[in-house]
Amino acid sequence: MIKIINCTPHDIVVMNTEGELITFPPSGHEPRVVNLETSADALVSKKGTFTCTFDEMLGVENIPAFEPHVRLVVSAMVLAAVNTRGDLIAPNTGSTALRNERGHIAHVMGFKVRNGRELTV
């Protein structure tokens, strides 16, 4: 059996194949893509404008160690930045996600995996 750990700062709610809603609460681990900020004031006329560069060499910080039979729910940005880990998944926030009246995601139908396929629970 696979254990799913939510490494995002908010609840992830997934509808399983039986139509039940399963909530994955935050674990306290929040991996982040390391980025380089460079002043873009010369390019844009407003002060305090920055460009962000995401460099694969810098990687991701605060990511838990690999554990067999465990999948880590991370942001889509973290999933895209890590090429060496097959244990990372991200909520599928595409057309199958259910949104509330304010446009916020109420629940998703599954997770994205690195190769673009979807994992359902």
* 91: three-class secondary structure by DSSP: strand
101, 6 Cβ separation under 8 angstroms: no
DSSP 70: E
In a domain, 11, yes or no: yes
Residue 38 lies in a domain: no
The predicted structure's pLDDT at residue 81 = 85
- HSE-CB at 35 with a 13 A cutoff on CA atoms is 13
Residue 104 forms part of a structural domain: yes
Please report the pLDDT score of residue 49 as a whole number: 60
- One-letter amino acid of 104: H
The whole model's pTM is what?
Answer: 0.79
C-beta separation of 34 from 55 below 8 A: yes
* 92, part of any domain: yes
Residue 114 confidence (pLDDT): 78
**Is 93 within a domain?**
yes
Is 111 part of a structural domain of the chain?
yes
Residue 21 lies in a domain: yes
**How sure is the predictor about 89, in pLDDT bands with cuts at 50, 70 and 90?**
very high
**Residue 69 placed within a domain:** yes
Domain total of the chain? 1
pLDDT band at 38 (very low <50, low <70, confident <90, very high): low
Q: Give the CA angle between residues 32, 36, 42 to the nearest 5°.
A: 140
Q: How far apart are the C-alpha atoms of 19 and 9, rounded to whole Å?
A: 25
Domain that includes residue 112, residue range? 3-32+62-119
Q: What is the dihedral of CA 99, 117, 113, 101, to 10 degrees?
A: 0
